[in-house]
Structure 1
Amino acid sequence: MTLRKALADAVQRATSRAVTQEGAGWCLASVTAVYADGTVDINTGRGPIQKVRRLRAYSPVVGDVVKADFNADGNWLIAGALAP
């Protein structure tokens, strides 16, 4: 591998990582724990996330598949569960 190719690959990896980390979006996740303070733990394709806030109208149970929204600041929100 040439130095130019190695540098181009490194720049592409760094750019991809930055876009993924700093972008807002959503994903599907499964609920792994439910707390009385209005938060849940979830498992996403990115890994486990602890103490995620949920909407008040939604009462999750462990095992629910949920839509999780996230923003560039690292904040997460559970909007509700998918229908079984």
Structure 2
Amino acid sequence: MTLSKRLADAIQRTAERAVDQRAAAWMVATVTATFTDGTVNISTARGPVERVRRLKSYTSPTVGDIVHVLRNADGNWAVIGAYATL
């Protein structure tokens, strides 16, 4: 592989990663810690996220809850609520 091909591939990967990081997304996560200030720590497929705000309707967060999480393009996170258990 030539240097110019490797450089082009590296630029492409970097651009794709930047777009992915700035894109809004929803995901499933697990609550790893709860706090009395309306935040929780979560574990996502991308790694842990600390002090994520939760909606008022998610009134009783519990460690181990599987939750629906949103992240906007600015990098702000919100826990929408817990999924029902099966």
Two-structure CA RMSD over aligned residues (Å)? 0.9
Number of the residue aligned with 1:22: 22
Percent identity between the two aligned chains: 58
TM-score w.r.t. length of structure 1? 0.94
SS of 1:72's equivalent?
coil
Q: Runs of 5+ in structure 2 lacking a partner?
A: none
Deviates more, 1:74-83 or 1:2-11: 2-11
Q: Distance in 2 between matches of 1:20 and 1:45?
A: 14
Moved over 4 A (4+): none
Counterpart amino acid of 1:80?
A: G
Give the Å deviation of 1:73. Answer: 1.3
Q: Distance in 1 between matches of 2:9 and 2:27?
A: 27
Q: Runs of 5+ in structure 1 lacking a partner?
A: none
Counterpart amino acid of 2:17?
A: R
Give the Å deviation of 1:80. Answer: 0.6
Give the Å deviation of 1:4. Answer: 2.5
SS of 1:17's equivalent?
helix
Q: Distance in 1 between matches of 2:24 and 2:40?
A: 20
Give the Å deviation of 1:22. Answer: 0.8
Q: Distance in 2 between matches of 1:29 and 1:16?
A: 23
Q: Per-residue displacement from partner, 1:10-31 (whole Å, max 9, x unpaired)?
A: 1111111111111111111000
User: Any residues of structure 2 matched to 1:59-74 within 5 Å, and which?
Assistant: 59-74=60-75
